[in-house]
Amino acid sequence: MNNTHEAIEAHLGEVRRFAPSAQFAATANATVTIYDEADADPEAFWAACARKLEWATPFTKTLDWTPPNATWFSDGTLNASVNCLDRHVAAGLGDRVAYHFVGEPEGDTRTITYQSLFEEVCRAANALSQLGVVAGDRVAIYMPMIPEAIVAMLACARLGAAHSVIFGGFTADALAHRITDADCRVVVTADGGFRRGAASGLKVNVDAALEQCPQVRSVLVVRRTGQEVSMHEGRDHWWHDLVSPQSPVHEAQAFPAEQPLYVMYTSGTTAKPKGILHTTAGYLTHVMTTHSLVFDLKADTDVVWTAADIGWVTGHSYIVYGPLCNGATSVLYEGVPDAGGKDRWWRIVEDYGVTILYTAPTTIRTLMKWGDEFPLAHDLTSLRLLGSVGEPINPEAWMWYREVIGKGHCPIVDTWWQTETGGIMATPLPGVTATKPGAAMRAFPGISIDVVDQDGQSVGNGGGGFLVVNKPWPGMTRGIWGDPERYAETYWSQVPGRYFAGDGAKLDDDGDLWILGRIDDVMNVSGHRLSTAEVEHALVAHEAVAEAAVVGASDETTGQAVVAFVTLRSGFDASEVLVDNLRALVAQMIGPIAKPKRILVTPELPKTRSGKIMRRLLRDVAEHRSLGDTTTLLDPSVLSMIDDLMRATPSDD
Ligand code: WT7
């Protein structure tokens, strides 16, 4: 967190503040009184939001809180897919576009209305039923960013089965682990997807993963790229054979408010990823409300583009459930930002008249690095609001986003939240809250957060410490799949009775909130969460490696980059080939995003007298900073030796 902290510190002296424009305030969905109203009775605030969903049985109870377990609206029943689709069609909005799909290959586009999405979800629900999927099951989804991925999610929700979407960049091993952990019996996938101009293979990874998962009985495969795949007789079915001929009618059943909706795996501080569980009504209430108020959504005119992958929570909440609950029109883009030219993004904004753009700072920095000429070559006047998520945004990138993309008139919402929180927790509200470049500003109405010290005492204005949430909120995770103890321990024990997010934060003199980043052993690379322990685990799986220590070192473009320090077993020597092999091993075991940017082979690692590896000091080394306090080290000379080595070794990129 040090570097972000320093950058923000350096800026705090000259912080700029942008008051909400009168133009925005005049038509904003949120009003200036909303904070006070929600504060006066947060449960009543959320209950009113929840009543905007369609219930089969209305709820009478709002919150039931037995720390660390909360339930919301628990005696109500509803169906998530009905809330996303049926009710809009019934209201006469069937012709409204739900998704403008833009495939990576030029010209590969589809327009999907609410009516057509509804029919396809019904067909898929019928097909999944035929494969034996029933309420309470888990279904794995491993897909590119194509409409069928969303159809599969909603079909599961329609049946009361939880989906577990696994990011398409993960490898067979990572896939197998997640399928096993959640005990999925059915997998929905595609032959592959288009990425950087080439067809990637997905089915091939599923085949490899399923060698380790004999419990999986059915695989449903979308033909996307047309590449050759092997189909396992009796187990594998083509989507066009099984789904397309089904009836477009499916009578949805209502399920309890707390019916599991999905499990999403994310990295924690140990090598084992956590299956974060979200349930139905509280989650939908949270994402529907935040999507409407944070983005000032006008569902009948806006075109929203959440440029994220549906394999991560941002996609779940703000490409799928939030926008669909609100009846919004979204852009769904399959590919990388520069497929077909460095102006591809801006062409999409222009072609579809995107009004609300939401993405991660790492992408903003990349687009900024490519140069202003690309956005300037396009008509971006449709844009009226810009959002940022996933990591701290540096003030330079924020200002570029505001000036070059937003032409100085689009409010910028810097939204802090996590896989575990389900939806946005801290953010300015457009038309209501002032903004400052790099600050998340304040908690969303009805959410109570604080910055506290080691003892759980509020630090107050001008202070820094741990970011905590004081009370349960509707979108809060209901636990870690199969591991209630880890849930209680990870989130609710560091600051007793309060949710500890793992982030450091600061309140400035005005009381506005600045998120400083992770203070645990979790890295944030290009907005992707990675565990240092997970990468270390992969490295020591190599026969040559004795010990490994991994740190996230600050990086201009990706926010943090993975830097690894390894010691070798006797009989093995450092070589370029070895380093390449280690990188490949990490990519194979976790995924290409986890590949270390640098691997330094060193004779020893810096340890405390009790034998704990001092990652904090290794981070100083990796960031070429002067070495901090080394007095707790067993042998401080080890660290200076590594530092010399680091400076002497040319960087690999
Ligand atoms: C971690 C959560 C939220 C969806 C995408 C990431 C960091 C997130 C911000 C922000 C500073 C942020 C935190 C958090 N983070 N948003 N606006 N400013 N940091 O979800 O993979 O669960 O990661 O991302 O460190 O703990 P995730």
Phi, psi (rounded to 5 degrees) for 177: -60, -45
- C-alpha 451: how far from chain center: 23
Q: Quick: pLDDT tens for 580-624.
A: 999 999 999 888 989 999 999 998 888 877 677 888 889 889 998
Burial class of 26 by CB neighbour count within 10 A (0 to 12, 13 to 18, 19+) = exposed
Q: Quick: pLDDT tens for 22-64.
A: 888 999 999 999 999 999 999 999 999 999 999 999 999 999 9
Dihedral sign, Cα of residue 460, residue 462, residue 465, residue 470: positive
d(CA 531, CA 637): 28
d(CA 500, CA 518): 11
H or E stretch at 44 = helix 42-50
This prediction's pTM: 0.90
Query: What average pLDDT does range 217-238 have in this prediction?
Result: 97
Q: Which CATH superfamily is domain 526-648 in?
A: ANL, C-terminal domain (3.30.300.30)
Q: Residue 614: what pLDDT?
A: 81
Output the CA 391–ligand 1 centroid distance in Å.
5
Output the CA 168–ligand 1 centroid distance in Å.
20
What mean pLDDT is reported for the chain? 93
Q: Residue 10: what pLDDT?
A: 54
Q: Quick: pLDDT tens for 454-502.
A: 899 999 999 999 999 999 999 999 999 999 999 999 999 999 889 999 9
Which DSSP string corresponds to 284-334? HHHHHHHHHHHTT--TTT-EEEE-S-TTSHHHIIIIIIHHHHTT-EEEEE-
Spatial neighbors of 351 by CB under 8 A, at least 6 apart, are none
H or E stretch at 621 = helix 615-622
Evaluate: CB of 419 within 6 angstroms of ligand 1: yes
Output the CA 362–ligand 1 centroid distance in Å.
12
Evaluate: CB of 508 within 6 angstroms of ligand 1: no
Q: Which residue has the higher pLDDT, 529 or 302?
A: 302
d(CA 35, CA 33): 6
Q: Closest Cα to atom 18, ligand 1: which residue? A: 392
H or E stretch at 239 = helix 239-242
How far CA 115 is from CA of 112, 149, 278, 497, 507, in Å, comes to 8, 17, 27, 45, 47
Confidence tier at 570 by pLDDT (50, 70, 90):
confident
Evaluate: CB of 518 within 6 angstroms of ligand 1: yes
